[in-house]
Amino acid sequence: MSPKLIRDLEEKYPSLKIPCLETDNGWYNLIDMLLAEVTNTNNQLEKYKIRCSITQIKEKFGGLRFYVVNNWVEKTMDGDLLIEDQDKAADLIDKLYEFIERIEDTSRELCEICGITGEILRSETQLKTLCKNCRGMKFQYN
């Protein structure tokens, strides 16, 4: 992703440590939505001292992959959390993971380079989601 777009995201989400963005610009909006959702989830988890961190954002098999870890198990093992709070925190984390899955699914229909509707294409060495315009520019696909 371009340095300018990365800077924009870092400024928009100062509470998150954003890992190296190994994707093209086309998925900017998807990544923006994911960072907003992680921030929102973390705000709700704060009272349980639980936090989600993003470990990796990349393209794999033509789709966006957004990896998040959390310290729910650690906090639960500490014994500081009431059972009902553990459940509430787990629900929030589950919802975040479902959201991530939906966005990852969406990415397989959006051009990684420009963000308009695309489809997964196969070259000799990789899969990539591209629109008709971007298709011929960088890659030779069947």
State the minimum distance, in angstroms, from the CB of residue 135 to Zn ion. Answer: 8
Which is nearer to Zn ion, 19 or 115 (by Cβ)?
115
Q: How far is CA 122 from the centre of its chain?
A: 23
In the list 16, 121, 127, 131, the residue contacting Zn ion (rule: CB under 5 A) is 131
Question: In angstroms, what is the minimal distance from the CB of 138 to Zn ion?
Answer: 10
Out of 114, 120, 121, 127, name the contact with Zn ion by CB under 5 A.
114
Of 127 and 131, the one with the shorter C-beta distance to Zn ion is 131
Q: What angle do CA 38, 53, 94 make, to 5 degrees?
A: 55
Rounded to the nearest 5°, which phi and psi values hold at 67?
A: -100, 130
Spatial CA neighbour of 57 closest among 33, 74, 92: 33
Q: Is 6 in the site for Zn ion (CB under 5 A)?
A: no
Site string for Zn ion, 92-111 (x = CB under 5 A): -------------------x
Q: Do residues 68 and 96 make contact, with C-beta atoms less than 8 angstroms apart? A: yes
CA angle, residues 39, 74, 45, in degrees to nearest 5 = 25
Stretch that binds Zn ion, among 2-10, 13-21, 100-108, 112-120 (CB under 5 A): 112-120
CB atoms within 10 A of CB 136: 10
Residues of the shown chain interacting with Zn ion in the complex, contacts defined by CB under 5 A: 111, 113-114, 131, 134
